[in-house]
């Protein structure tokens, strides 16, 4: 998942008797890097990987943590720019989002299309060709909703099924900055943005409860309007009123609160049974996102907590730095590789966990390569992507992907299938 504004947040106004820990500060922007937020991304992507491998029932809730992080980080950047410059340069913001997120996405879509053509079987290829234009339009979530492709039982033959969440975030990035750009003016800008985020989250909750009563809950689960609650709760946590409130909590109390929230999230990730959970669409998703937003606020605004030290430790932090590319790669790798490792009717020579370990290792390798060779060069304009070369290369890669999509012959329906329901 994205959540990838780099974990940079505006500084919290000083509180008497308190002083900030020496987080790595970026003098040019007045923001500081919070390693613990990278670590949270690491835990979130690990939960999603285990869920899609069939080994963590509630691991899909890691996506909600990604959403809350995205809302928090993006809103912090927008409000910080408004405070420094008196306005938000929307075109520059959107271009930074494109430069940050599109290179890896284009790379993954191109490689996955070619790999599915070569090794994926009829159903995987047919659905990949069907979904690709919607992935390019960042609207694949609405494609699945419109076609009644159930998230819980219909994603096992779609290599791009996981990209519904990327579509939700892109759509949020298009709309929310416009709202903040208008609202973040004048003396009470932060309070107005906080009020809008809170009100929007409540409206989204009501929509989730209403739409979650359907037999197929995909509309409630993948709709941008219903998932906006998590993004907006994160946005709320980034506003000055909430930052100030969080910073006034004593560190010992914050440690206890973070411990309680972390335990609650761990239990939810372990026992929640997807759409089978009766409370998921009756406020469960909202409460999970609210807890995540509180945890993020404490980690970002109260330096030195025990939870921040654990989340910011080397392993979760490094995993979080790979989380975007890892999320993009893992599901296609699972669909294409796991059936070959495990066999379609037995556990195969590796066994279930052995096969999953190999698939995760392949996903990690692909993510690390993508980050080092594609993401970072284009994002930071370094190496082969200096100047405009990165943008030109990504544009040419997107064109090549479109040509590949148009060139691949449509497979004949019923010529072959791949049953990977054991992955869910």
C-alpha 176, offset from chain centre: 16
- Confidence category of residue 417, pLDDT binned at 50, 70, 90: very low
Q: Which of 212, 264, 256, 208 is nearest to 233 (CA)?
A: 208
- Confidence category of residue 346, pLDDT binned at 50, 70, 90: low
Has residue 14 got a pLDDT over 90?
Answer: no
Has residue 123 got a pLDDT over 50?
Answer: yes
Residue 106 CB partners (closer than 8 Å, separation 6+): 394, 397, 398, 401
More confident residue, 29 or 355: 355
Please state which of the ranges 31-45, 84-98, 121-135 shows the lowest mean pLDDT: 31-45
Has residue 263 got a pLDDT over 70?
Answer: yes
pLDDT tens across 161-193, in order? 999 999 999 999 999 999 999 998 878 899 999
Has residue 18 got a pLDDT over 50?
Answer: no
Has residue 21 got a pLDDT over 80?
Answer: no
Q: In whole angstroms, give the CA distance from residue 235 to residue 290.
A: 11
Task: Calculate the average pLDDT of the chain.
Answer: 88
Q: Which of 112, 210, 216, 121 is nearest to 161 (CA)?
A: 112
What pLDDT, on the 0 to 100 scale, is given for residue 415?
47
pLDDT tens across 144-166, in order? 999 999 888 777 789 999 999 99
- Confidence category of residue 297, pLDDT binned at 50, 70, 90: very high
Q: Give the length of the chain.
A: 424
Q: What is the mean pLDDT of residues 276-282?
A: 86
Query: What would the two tokens of residue 315 be?
Result: 């392993």
DSSP conformational letter for 12: P
Q: How many CA atoms lie within 13 A of 387 on its CB side?
A: 2
- Confidence category of residue 413, pLDDT binned at 50, 70, 90: low
What pLDDT, on the 0 to 100 scale, is given for residue 177?
97
- Confidence category of residue 233, pLDDT binned at 50, 70, 90: very high
Give residue for tokens 């009501």.
Answer: 206
What pLDDT, on the 0 to 100 scale, is given for residue 25?
35
Give residue for tokens 């809950």.
Answer: 217
What pLDDT, on the 0 to 100 scale, is given for residue 26?
37
Q: At what angle do helices 90-119 and 389-407 cross, to 10 degrees?
A: 40
Has residue 380 got a pLDDT over 60?
Answer: yes
Has residue 331 got a pLDDT over 70?
Answer: yes
Q: How many CA atoms lie within 13 A of 378 on its CB side?
A: 25
Has residue 414 got a pLDDT over 70?
Answer: no
Q: What is the mean pLDDT of residues 352-361?
A: 90
pTM of the model: 0.90
Has residue 117 got a pLDDT over 50?
Answer: yes
Q: What is the mean pLDDT of residues 334-355?
A: 73
Query: What would the two tokens of residue 84 be?
Result: 């420094």
Has residue 251 got a pLDDT over 80?
Answer: yes
pLDDT tens across 32-91, in order? 678 999 999 999 999 999 999 999 999 999 999 999 999 999 999 999 999 999 899 999
- Confidence category of residue 348, pLDDT binned at 50, 70, 90: low
Strand order in the sheet with 31-33: 8-9, 31-33, 25-26
Query: Taking CA 290 as the corner, what is the angle to CA 200 and CA 2, rounded to the nearest 5 degrees?
Result: 80
Helix (H) or strand (E) holding 11: none
Has residue 350 got a pLDDT over 80?
Answer: no
Sign of CA dihedral 369, 76, 389, 165: positive
What pLDDT, on the 0 to 100 scale, is given for residue 410?
85
- Confidence category of residue 306, pLDDT binned at 50, 70, 90: very high
The domains of the chain are located at 8-412
What pLDDT, on the 0 to 100 scale, is given for residue 137?
96
Share of the chain above pLDDT 70, in %: 88
Has residue 337 got a pLDDT over 60?
Answer: yes
């Amino acid at each position: 998942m994205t959540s990838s504004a780099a974990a940079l947040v505006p500084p919290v106004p000083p509180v008497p008797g308190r002083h900030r820990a020496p987080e790595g500060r970026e003098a040019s922007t007045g923001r500081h890097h919070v390693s613990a937020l990278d670590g949270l991304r690491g835990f979130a992507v690990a939960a999603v990987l285990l869920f899609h491998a069939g080994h963590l029932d509630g691991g899909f809730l890691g996506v909600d943590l990604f959403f809350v992080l995205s809302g928090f980080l993006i809103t912090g950047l927008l409000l910080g720019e408004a405070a420094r410059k008196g306005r938000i340069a929307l075109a520059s913001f959107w271009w930074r989002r494109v430069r940050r997120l599109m290179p890896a996405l284009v790379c993954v879509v191109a490689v996955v299309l070619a790999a599915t053509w070569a090794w994926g079987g009829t159903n995987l290829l047919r659905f990949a060709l069907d979904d690709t234009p919607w992935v390019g339009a960042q609207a694949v979530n609405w494609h699945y909703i419109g076609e009644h492709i159930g998230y819980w039982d219909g994603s096992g033959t779609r290599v791009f099924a996981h990209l519904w969440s990327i579509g939700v975030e892109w759509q949020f990035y298009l709309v929310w900055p416009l709202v903040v750009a208008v609202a973040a003016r004048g003396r009470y800008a932060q309070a107005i943005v906080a009020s809008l985020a809170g009100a929007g989250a409540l409206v989204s909750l009501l929509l989730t409860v209403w739409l979650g009563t359907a037999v197929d809950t995909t509309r409630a689960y993948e709709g941008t309007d219903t998932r906006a609650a998590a993004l907006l709760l994160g946005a709320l946590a980034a506003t000055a009123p909430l930052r100030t409130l969080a910073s006034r909590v004593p560190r010992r109390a914050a440690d206890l609160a973070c411990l309680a929230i972390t335990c609650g999230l761990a239990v939810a990730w372990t026992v929640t049974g997807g759409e089978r959970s009766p409370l998921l669409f009756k406020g469960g998703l909202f409460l999970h996102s609210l807890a995540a937003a509180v945890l993020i606020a404490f980690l970002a605004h109260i330096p030195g907590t025990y939870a921040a030290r654990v989340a910011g430790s080397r392993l979760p932090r490094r995993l979080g730095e790979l989380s975007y590319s890892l999320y993009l790669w893992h599901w296609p790798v699972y669909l294409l590789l796991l059936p070959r490792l495990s066999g379609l009717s037995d556990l195969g020579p590796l066994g279930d966990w052995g096969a999953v370990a190999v698939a995760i290792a392949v996903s990690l390798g692909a993510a690390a390569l993508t980050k080092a060779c594609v993401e970072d060069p284009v994002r930071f304009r370094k190496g082969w992507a200096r100047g405009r070369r990165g943008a030109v290369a990504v544009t040419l890669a997107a064109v090549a992907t479109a040509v590949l999509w148009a060139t691949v012959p449509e497979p004949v329906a019923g010529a072959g299938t791949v049953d990977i329901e054991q992955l869910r």
